[in-house]
Amino acid sequence: MTSSRNAFAIVTEWTGPHGLPNFTAVDDGDFAPAFDKALAEHEAEIEAIAENADAPDFQNTIIALEIAGDGLSRVSALFWNKAGADTNEAIQALEREIAPKMSRHYSKISMNAALFARVDALWEKRDSLGLSLEEMRVLERHWKGFVKSGAKLAHEQQQRLAAINERLASLGASFGQNVLADEKSWVLYLSAEDELAGLPGFLKDAMFAAADARGEKGKYAVTLSRSIIEPFLTFSERRDLRESAFKAWVARGENGGATDNRAIVKETLALRTEKARLLGYSTYAAYKLDDTMAKTPEAVNGLLMQVWEKAVVQARREEEDLASLIAAEGKNHAVAPWDWRYYAEKLRAERFSFSEAELKPYLQLEKIIDACFAVAGKLFGIKAVPLTDVKGYHPDVRMFEIREADGTLKALFLGDYFARASKRSGAWMSSFQSQHKLKLKNGAEGELPIIYNVCNFARPAEGKPALLSLDDARTLFHEFGHALHGMLSDVTYPSVSGTGVSRDFVELPSQLYEHWLTVPDILKTYAVHFETGEPMPQALLDKVLAAQTFNAGFNTVEFTSSALVDMEFHTRDSVEDPMAVQAEMLARIGMPSSIVMRHATPHFQHVFSGEGYSAGYYSYMWSEVLDADAFAAFEETGNAFDAATAQKLKDNVYAIGGAVDPEETYKAFRGRLPSPEAMLKKRGLAA
């Protein structure tokens, strides 16, 4: 193992091009000693701030806190990237150790009485400090962070809160690892011709590559990667195989044995409720929503139920249409959850005269990546320049310089697009380094944002292009929208940089960016056939645009049911049996038996693999109300790339981070706050 001093230097001294990490120099064994030194170093910095003999001021307290822990931030950034995108048994073992250790570390900081006294003194006289709007937001964030972490509690209560947070960190790590284990362990190998009935070539290629990667040459693998399981459920003519695969997919985290998450969920919910009450909140949802745009559980549930009532009516109509297709085939079974995608695809092909299989040859991964960059160029004047001679954290990773129109380096971007067994499912954006302008202890004046996207698209067979579904393409645009939020950030302080905004505002830049995928000029230019290079025919393009709200009831019911269950868990006094509460809630709202939650409780990683989206899954819909209204600002000009509107969007949404209250910054862009009507229209649910 590398010595502690060397390990710390290897992990934290980023001497790659433009200050990139030295990914290939870091060994798994470096992380533990690097964490030990980084934690000790940060603790010493915190003590120095807390024990400073000088009276507290913004510079010696708040700015000092903002730049403290640089080494720990670097170790953490590399480690959590590895844990999510390229994990192994050694990393997972360390994750189970590090998660509670980090919780203990931050609990100690938040409960440091001398440190809080300094922050509290500044907060009490904030109006006399002559602070800028951004500085006031930064001070408020620090003060509220301390209070919501127990700084005002009695010592005994603080100790209990620290223990709760430590245990929650351990439970969250185990939850995510259990889901990944279930995803890795299940596979269905196919080889007979009748087992492949209905599967288009792109899917068979992906399944062949997946089997080959598992050492099963000549076979076809159905895995629980969304980029394989969803098209398999969409196209497979074998109902028995669809049922088998679907049941495995929805049973992740609920299979009994060591990877079963139900006990973890129960304990997590109990601890979250106790935590909220210690901090003076009636429920955990009230605690989490205190600093959001929604503000209260009642406001969240009001929006969700308004949408639910329209969505479930639409879903019932859709189910009747699918049942008619089943009857027309001479079959008499009801629409089961493993039937929906298959018959919905048949109905779309019938109603709009195109299928996903017809569309997919026009959606090459490489071209959609180019489209993401092109839209950013048209809107914000930036361009992506490939970094071809630099190695990332995995051979799949692509690296880019993001430059302004005048050539100035604005950010670095990494894209990691293919599914693999070492990567958790889903798609996400994160950062190795956030933009800011503060002077650091090493003399650097600010830092360049280093942002990455992780996706799980099916890897193509050797020599063939990666082809995306329309949903995959939207995912790529969505995550790049998050990346732009980080890369276009233009603030002074790290804590309000980029995505450092309230949870129900953070999805606005990403969901808004999805709109530009289906702008006709973009599809005409970048949706070209992988064999002929011909653009998507106008007739097919028209059908794609006409079908955008097809299956809207199903899609909205899937999402909204998950969000309502999340809120139900976190507004109850107690939850003795989470699965019973889930069933009770779904029955109460009239969940169709033909549809399941997008994320059933035992694999609901947004909510239980950490606290990020706990009592916050609704935020995708809250942000969707904003994004539908925001894109309407462009539509009202008649130009999806209107320069003046794009500049206002950049200044007030993508660049401002959390330096301004989200309501105020949205109103600065749009002139007012939106109502849900534009979102309902976008989803095809407007009356």
pLDDT tens digit string along 607-653? Answer: 999 998 999 999 999 999 999 999 999 999 999 999 999 999 999 99
Domain boundaries, the chain: 4-110+112-152, 186-251, 361-546
What is the phi/psi pair of residue 314, to 5°? -65, -40
530-578 per-position pLDDT tens digit = 999 999 999 999 999 999 999 999 999 999 999 999 999 999 999 999 9
Reported pTM: 0.95
Q: In the Cβ-directed half-sphere of 142, how many Cα atoms lie within 13 Å?
A: 27
Question: Which residues have CB under 8 Å from 265's CB, separation 6+?
Answer: 175, 578, 601, 602, 608
**Second-level CATH architecture of 361-546:** Orthogonal Bundle (1.10)
Q: Which residue has the tokens 């995550």?
A: 479
pLDDT score of 687: 67
Please calculate the CA angle 491-291-102 and round it to the nearest 5 degrees.
75
pLDDT score of 316: 98
Comparing CA positions, the residue from 381, 441, 380 lying closest to residue 405 is: 381
- Cα-Cα-Cα-Cα torsion 605, 608, 614, 619, nearest 10 degrees, comes to 10
pLDDT score of 41: 97
Supply 418's token pair: 């293919």
pLDDT-based confidence at residue 3 (cuts at 50, 70, 90): low
For residue 13, pLDDT over 80 is answered with yes
For residue 133, pLDDT over 60 is answered with yes
d(CA 436, CA 448): 7
Q: Which residue has the tokens 């129960």?
A: 266
Q: What percent of the chain has pLDDT over 90?
A: 96
For residue 4, pLDDT over 80 is answered with no
d(CA 550, CA 346): 12
pLDDT-based confidence at residue 1 (cuts at 50, 70, 90): very low
Q: Helix 31-50 crosses helix 70-85 at what angle (to 10 degrees)? A: 140
pLDDT score of 686: 84
What does DSSP say about strands 409-418 and 188-190: parallel, antiparallel, or unpaired? Answer: unpaired
pLDDT score of 511: 97
482-540 per-position pLDDT tens digit = 999 999 999 999 999 999 999 999 999 999 999 999 999 999 999 999 999 999 999 99
pLDDT score of 673: 94
Q: What percent of the chain has pLDDT over 70?
A: 99
Where are the alpha helices (H) located in 527-577, listed in sequence order? Answer: 538-546, 552-571
User: Catalytic residues, which ones?
Assistant: 479
For residue 357, pLDDT over 60 is answered with yes
User: Which CATH code fits 4-110+112-152?
Assistant: 1.10.1370.40
Handedness of CA 369, 373, 374, 379 (dihedral sign): positive
For residues 82 and 91, is the Cβ–Cβ distance under 8 A?
yes
421-460 per-position pLDDT tens digit = 999 999 999 999 999 999 998 888 999 999 999 999 999 9
For residue 212, pLDDT over 60 is answered with yes
Q: Which residue has the tokens 């603790």?
A: 43
Average confidence score pLDDT of the chain: 96
